[in-house]
Structure 1
């Protein structure tokens, strides 16, 4: 059972401040929509009164920084058992929402704000590549009967259903109003019990051509060399180089320098090879890139070690920019992997415009 909350006014003899039901569930919903941190500071609102495929409406649909959804349902005038059954029904619908459906829900209610921008505002981070890998179910009520509390606890603790209840108490004193919040179960405990459930993420569809490449500049590689000789690269550990193996001739790559932005777009001409095998043309002569004039002082480090060697992928540049003119907008996709499929439509649309690709 949740801990009962008491409030006392100090000044002379302590005086209890009485609890009263809030005069309107819609008013509480409005407060949560305006500032979801009242419920949980780690959430952003995706939509309010969201229509489902079954002709019902979710009071609030929210999301956390990992891209997982939260169904928030107010008890209103339903019996406690009815609202628990309703939120479980919503879970069956939410579980199958695709990346595009989630962004459409947000866009319908926020036509002037892209989902990616709203996510960046809320969490100061780009949208994860996969959304809706998991979800939480939250029942909002002034109180629940012991039977319903037992049902929620049973679903959560015994079967890993990520369901919880939160209680809001409404207090008034000298014309001022206050809300107090308490949880049926510590949210951290609900998260732990749900970890045993499989995570099945929903990604945007990939166009089977475009890739994101993270180009970390430093002593092993410089953007000046990559522009001059036509390549992207990664290495000094297989974790950094192995994702380059995804790139195939004909693929298109958008190159991002971490912390700066996108600096180039081009077409892959050859698959990844170790640095010692990559050739370039210098003064009309073909030679290995390590024999060419380079800005990177240590590109050849570990060249004899297949696990640590730098690996290069030849690219025919469509357009490149200096690092000072890198393209970056709030909400654009970024990833720590050296190469990955670029699915994010918002990022592709903005880069298509900036690079003048005419698509």
Structure 2
């Protein structure tokens, strides 16, 4: 079998052949220098994987080529990675990448930042000593994230088999390289949009938050600290874990402990503890830690639109996070949730 002519098709159709879970996002990807990357993939952490078939090129040519691809790939922004995938799929729907990523990896959403690392893989049907020396020198001597995967082809009783072998042990070689510009590649935050995780427990209830206008968190400093950072004027995207997005609103007051908080109800300031609440908004640890803050903290919110749990908005690709609150940079999530909650009831 002319193996190297078919490997590109085989890997594209079944990237698990590589021994790791990646999603193919491009084939014959044209770089800024006019050359073409055979296959480009992304892993669950958003790292890029450059796959280049050796074919009949000399060791120097193929290694130089894949290094050149790496120098180009590390400059790609989040939007550029998504555009590569859109061209690969032949679509202009900007939601495509996030939905495909979430479906492929079984996650709630794509990572906040893509291309924070990259790896370079030369794929070959056989290996020569010169290529092995070059790759080993770069990977073990200078921590270049390069490796070689080669395949052997077998036939037995009418059945075909491919045997995969890595040249370098992936546990000891430089498997991935952090891109020099990864910090700058973090999506810009507008300083206004906040994700708030309204984790419903016996201690809190979304129906209360909808009715009286607030979000809350507590049970420990780790839970309340991030919510207390949301400023007055912050735009809140409220999310119930494993349920979906249920509210969009604006913070109208500073965070206060539940025992001291007041909320404006029908134009009147009412102490939080005097409201008719469905949950207790208290935390009683079995083994309390000294100096820990277990109080529930209340943040007043003017809701633009809320929905019930049963009507929550959830789809592949939407951002989700275990923190009580964090900056929301994911433009796919912002657009999708805003469009959903802007619809007439």
TM-score by length of 2: 0.89
Residue in 2 that maps onto 1:88: 67
Measured after TM superposition, the shift of residue 173 of structure 1 is 4.2
CA-based RMSD of the aligned residues comes to 2.5
Distance across 2 between alignment mates of 1:56 and 1:288: 66
Residue pairs, 1:158-237, within 5 angstroms: 158-173=141-156, 175-190=158-173, 200-201=182-183, 202-237=185-220
Cα distance per residue 1:262-294 (max 9 Å; x no partner): 001011112323323320246875342123222
What is the correspondence of 1:51-70 to structure 2 with a 5 Å cutoff?
51-70=30-49
**How far did residue 100 of structure 1 move?**
0.8
Are 1:80 and 1:144, in contact at CA under 8 Å, matched by a contact in 2?
A: no
Aligned CA distance change for structure 1 residues 67 and 215 (closer, same or farther; 3 Å):
same
1:313 equivalent to 2:299? Answer yes
Q: 2:98 aligns with which of 107, 113, 116?
A: 116
In structure 2, distance between residues paired with 1:271 and 1:53: 49
Identify which range, 237-246 or 70-79, moves more after superposition: 237-246
Question: 2-side partners of 1:24 and 1:182: how far apart?
Answer: 15
Higher deviation after alignment, 154-163 or 202-211: 202-211
- Does the CA contact (< 8 Å) of 2:118 and 2:176 recur in 1? no
Number of the residue aligned with 1:331: 317
Q: Is 1:295 aligned to 2:278, yes or no?
A: yes
Aligned length: 335
The answer to whether the 8 A contact 1:301-1:309 is kept is: no
1:42-99 per-residue CA deviation (whole Å, 9 max, x = no partner) reads: 1111111111111111111111111111111110221122111111111111112111
Checking the alignment, whether the CA contact within 8 Å between 1:120 and 1:330 is kept in structure 2 is yes
- Please give the alpha-carbon distance, in whole angstroms, between the structure 1 residues aligned to 2:249 and 2:87: 34
1:147 to 2:130 alignment: yes
Q: What's the counterpart of residue 265 of structure 1? A: 248
Contact 1:282 / 1:292 at 8 angstroms: preserved in 2?
no
Unmatched runs of 5 consecutive residues or more in structure 1: 1-21
Give the secondary structure class of the aligned counterpart of 1:46.
Answer: strand
Which residue does the alignment assign to 2:223? 240
Q: TM-score, normalised by structure 1?
A: 0.85
Q: Residue 248 of structure 1 aligns to a residue in which SS?
A: coil
Alignment CA distance shift 1:280-1:196 (3 Å): closer
Query: Are residues 1:39 and 2:18 paired?
Result: yes
Is residue 76 from structure 1 mapped to residue 55 from structure 2 by the alignment? yes
Q: Deviations over 1:319-357 (max 9, x none)?
A: 111111111011211111211222222222221221126
Distance verdict in 2 for CA 1:300–1:32, change over 3 Å: closer
Separation in 1, partners of 2:144, 2:238: 41
- Structure 1 runs (4+) deviating above 4 angstroms are 193-199, 281-285
Please give the secondary structure, in 1, of the residue aligned with 2:139.
Answer: helix
Query: How far apart, CA to CA, are the structure 2 residues paired with 1:350 and 1:197?
Result: 30
SS in 1 for 2:171: helix
Gaps of 5+ in 2: none
Query: Quick one: distance in 2 between partners of 1:305 and 1:327?
Result: 38
Report deviation, 1:36.
0.5
CA deviations on 1:21-44 (whole Å, 9 max, x unpaired) are: x41534210111111111134111
Q: Distance in 2 between matches of 1:196 and 1:104?
A: 21
Secondary structure of the corresponding residue to residue 157 of structure 1: helix
Aligned to 1:131, the other structure's residue is in SS state coil
Query: Partners of 2:318 and 2:279 in 1: how far apart?
Result: 28
